[in-house]
């Protein structure tokens, strides 16, 4: 059946041994020749395309590339359903092309057991897939034009290298979430600019959907089955995936939600550009972080808690040791002395203490982290008993940051005081500051804002009762931030450091002005912002002089 057995042996070896080993089978000349003979090229959209604001939804009609020149996003008004929709436009195949695609896909599946775990250069994989595909066309005696071949090759690329129908969506910078509620129902996305949109992607049956969930699990290095039908992992591009595998768990069949993250996290200055936070609020947090305060960021789902926590990590002194602990890796910190830790699920039945074999929980990681001499501890999200260890550490002098699902400070305290966390009021009082993130509406536009900053004065014995001071607050009518000079944490810092009020307020003012100057000069980049903040710790006068502030 196979014409060129030598070629297929090499292809199989490639996927079995990984990129580095197989390339040793080719000399440089052959490799170069192979690279230049491929005709299938795909361009991922690296640049952020500027999209228009919504003036009239009914008149919106835009198209932009996702996987150029094959896949495009088309956002327009659906007159029949009176809603804005997001359609993925891909090459259309006629009946003969569809049959050829099916034959070639089956041939590829029989020929190669594709696993991309060890493969870093997708371009190299594309070269081998194209060679393989052309060999199969000859073997099966198919008559395919070059135009049809490129369209078929796109679908082979999408379904074998990518993640099937959702691959174009994963390449859209503007998509935050991809939501699938089961088969025979449209897939929805959350767009950064136009929010919730229905797509034209529908999975026709549970078998196709289950296969995609299995593929996502494999890419995330996880395992799903009828016995373990829940998936929580991280895809190679950094996206977080949560999925269910069977109809027993979700009645419409397998489901999934993919939360996409930007390649580089939002910097504090970038958040100023989005009007999420004011420079004075950031300068306030900067001083608190430098003086080792304990900070909690709370808010609802999708309010931007983790993004804001990541932005605050920019203010950690450059030489300080950071230990971060997460369920699924989301934090991205440009800090040399950073130890990122991620919890691991176990296998088999649970033991007497409720853990599976090989499981490494947030609680386990947090306990160990305090033996690693951290200067700062960051926990991605507080949910259970790990809160006890975190607050114990915070009360014993380890500055700690975390996030939690709660709409206000009283709700947060009630959650901390009741099952399954059960913290005492004295432990909760070790928290210094709480930042509250919200999703707000400005006209038709959905935005993220830091609603207010609350300082914890004391936590009473009565359930959920807490006394707070509010140094910063947002006015929802004007979308502006207001502050007052009475900060209890600033008073605490002055007492501990022996600073006068004038000295501390002068430092606060300088940092506010520096952040504003960075915003005006468009210093938004991940590395650029970190360099300025690190430079300020090492030589503040030089940095202030550079920005014409002294």
Q: What is the pLDDT of residues 366-404, one digit of tens each?
A: 888 888 889 999 999 988 888 888 898 888 888 999 999
> Do residues 278 and 391 share a domain?
yes
Q: Quick check: 18 pLDDT over 50?
A: no
Q: Quick check: 527 pLDDT over 50?
A: yes
8 Å CB contact between 515 and 295: no
Could you tell me how many residues make up the chain?
550
> Do residues 344 and 422 share a domain?
yes
Question: Is 48 part of a structural domain of the chain?
Answer: no
Quick one: 189 exposed, middle or buried, by C-beta within 10 A (0-12, 13-18, 19+)?
buried
Domain, as residue range, for 290:
268-546
When pLDDT is cut at 50, 70 and 90, the band that residue 351 belongs to is low
When pLDDT is cut at 50, 70 and 90, the band that residue 113 belongs to is low
Between residues 194 and 86, the one the model is more confident about: 86
At 46-70, the pLDDT tens digits run: 777 888 888 888 999 999 999 999 9
Report the share of the chain in percent with pLDDT over 90.
Answer: 62
> Do residues 396 and 487 share a domain?
yes
The mean pLDDT of the chain is 87
pLDDT value for 356 = 65
Question: Is 49 part of a structural domain of the chain?
Answer: no
Question: Is 45 part of a structural domain of the chain?
Answer: no
CA–CA distance, 68 with 72 (Å, rounded to integer): 7
> Do residues 253 and 318 share a domain?
no
**Mean predicted confidence (pLDDT) in 363-367:** 84
pLDDT value for 5 = 52
pLDDT value for 370 = 80
Q: Quick check: 119 pLDDT over 80?
A: no
Q: Quick check: 114 pLDDT over 70?
A: no
> Do residues 144 and 218 share a domain?
no
Question: Is 43 part of a structural domain of the chain?
Answer: no
Q: Which residues are CB-contacts of 406 (< 8 A; sequence separation ≥ 6)?
A: 298, 299, 412, 415
DSSP 44-85: E--SPPP-PPPS-GGG-EEEEEEEETTEEEEEEEETTTTEEE
When pLDDT is cut at 50, 70 and 90, the band that residue 121 belongs to is confident
Question: Is 286 part of a structural domain of the chain?
Answer: yes
Q: Are strands 322-326 and 433-442 parallel, antiparallel or unpaired?
A: unpaired
Question: Is 202 part of a structural domain of the chain?
Answer: yes
When pLDDT is cut at 50, 70 and 90, the band that residue 21 belongs to is very low
> Do residues 173 and 211 share a domain?
yes
Which of 111, 130, 162 terminates a domain? The answer is: 162
Between residues 284 and 8, the one the model is more confident about: 284
Which of 162, 178, 196 terminates a domain? The answer is: 162
**Mean predicted confidence (pLDDT) in 299-315:** 93
Report the share of the chain in percent with pLDDT over 70.
Answer: 89
CA–CA distance, 431 with 437 (Å, rounded to integer): 17
Three-state DSSP state, 26: coil
> Do residues 410 and 311 share a domain?
yes
Instruction: Calculate the alpha carbon distances from 461 to 50, 153, 441 in Å.
Output: 53, 66, 37
Which of 259, 293, 317 terminates a domain? The answer is: 259
8 Å CB contact between 468 and 243: no
CA–CA distance, 452 with 437 (Å, rounded to integer): 8
**Mean predicted confidence (pLDDT) in 240-244:** 94
> Do residues 432 and 337 share a domain?
yes
> Do residues 361 and 432 share a domain?
yes
Query: How many beta carbons lie within 10 A of that of residue 322, not counting itself?
Result: 21
> Do residues 294 and 323 share a domain?
yes
Question: Is 499 part of a structural domain of the chain?
Answer: yes
When pLDDT is cut at 50, 70 and 90, the band that residue 127 belongs to is confident
pLDDT value for 357 = 66
8 Å CB contact between 284 and 510: no
Quick one: 454 exposed, middle or buried, by C-beta within 10 A (0-12, 13-18, 19+)?
buried
Q: Quick check: 8 pLDDT over 60?
A: no
Question: Is 471 part of a structural domain of the chain?
Answer: yes
- We report the CATH number of the domain holding residue 407 as 3.40.50.300
302 backbone dihedrals φ, ψ, rounded to 5°: 75, 15
- We report the CATH number of the domain holding residue 61 as 3.30.450.370
When pLDDT is cut at 50, 70 and 90, the band that residue 550 belongs to is confident
H or E segment to which residue 447 belongs:
strand 445-459
> Do residues 397 and 481 share a domain?
yes
pLDDT value for 395 = 86
Q: How far is CA 121 from the centre of its chain?
A: 22
> Do residues 364 and 425 share a domain?
yes
- The token duo for 173 is 């910078």
Number of domains in the chain: 3
pLDDT value for 36 = 43
**Mean predicted confidence (pLDDT) in 135-146:** 91
């Amino acid at each position: 059946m196979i014409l060129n057995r030598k070629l297929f042996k090499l292809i199989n070896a490639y996927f079995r041994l990984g990129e580095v080993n197989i390339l040793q089978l080719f000399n440089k000349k052959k490799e170069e020749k192979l690279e230049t003979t491929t005709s299938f090229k795909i361009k991922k959209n690296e640049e952020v395309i500027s999209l228009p604001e919504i003036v009239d939804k009914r008149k919106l009609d835009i198209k932009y590339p996702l996987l150029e020149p094959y896949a495009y996003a088309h956002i327009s008004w659906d007159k029949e359903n009176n809603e804005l929709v997001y359609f993925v436009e891909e090459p259309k195949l006629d009946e003969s092309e569809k049959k050829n695609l099916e034959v070639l896909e089956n041939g590829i599946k029989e020929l190669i057991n594709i696993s991309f775990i060890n493969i870093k250069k997708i371009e190299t994989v594309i070269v081998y897939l194209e060679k393989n595909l052309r060999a199969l066309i000859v073997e099966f005696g198919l008559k395919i034009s070059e135009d049809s071949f490129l369209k078929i090759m796109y679908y082979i690329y999408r379904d074998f290298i990518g993640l099937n129908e959702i691959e174009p969506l994963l390449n859209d910078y503007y998509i935050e979430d991809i939501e699938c509620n089961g088969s025979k129902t449209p897939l929805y996305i959350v767009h950064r600019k136009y929010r919730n949109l229905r797509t034209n992607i529908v999975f026709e049956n549970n078998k196709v959907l289950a296969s995609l969930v299995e593929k996502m699990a494999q890419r995330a290095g996880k395992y799903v089955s009828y016995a373990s039908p829940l998936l929580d992992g991280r895809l190679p591009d950094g996206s977080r995936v949560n999925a269910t595998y069977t109809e027993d768990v979700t009645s419409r069949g397998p489901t999934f939600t993919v939360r996409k993250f930007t390649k580089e996290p939002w910097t504090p200055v970038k958040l100023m550009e989005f009007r999420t936070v004011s420079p004075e609020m950031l300068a306030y947090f900067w001083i608190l972080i430098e003086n080792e305060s304990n900070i909690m960021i709370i808010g609802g789902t999708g309010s931007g808690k983790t993004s804001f926590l990541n932005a605050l990590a920019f203010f950690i002194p450059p030489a300080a040791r950071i230990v971060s602990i997460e369920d699924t890796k989301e934090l991205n910190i440009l800090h040399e002395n950073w130890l990122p830790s991620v919890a691991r699920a176990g296998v088999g039945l649970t033991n007497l203490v409720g853990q599976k074999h090989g499981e490494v929980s947030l609680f386990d990681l947090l306990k160990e982290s305090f033996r690693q001499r951290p200067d700062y501890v960051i926990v991605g999200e507080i949910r259970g008993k790990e809160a006890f260890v975190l607050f114990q550490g915070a009360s014993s002098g380890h500055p700690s940051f975390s996030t939690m699902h709660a709409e206000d400070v009283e709700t947060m305290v009630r959650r901390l005081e009741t099952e399954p966390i059960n913290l005492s009021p004295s432990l909760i009082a070790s928290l210094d500051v709480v930042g509250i993130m919200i999703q707000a509406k400005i006209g038709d536009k959905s935005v993220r804002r830091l609603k207010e900053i609350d300082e914890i004065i004391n936590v009473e014995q009565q359930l959920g009762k807490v006394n707070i001071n509010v140094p910063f607050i947002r006015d929802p009518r004007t979308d502006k931030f207001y502050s007052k000079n009475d900060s209890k944490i600033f008073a605490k810092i002055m007492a501990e450091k022996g600073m006068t009020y004038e000295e501390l307020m002068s430092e606060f003012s300088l940092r506010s002005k520096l952040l504003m100057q960075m915003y005006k000069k468009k210093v938004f980049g991940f590395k650029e912002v970190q360099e300025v903040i690190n430079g300020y710790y090492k030589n503040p006068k030089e940095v202030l002089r550079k920005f014409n502030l002294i």
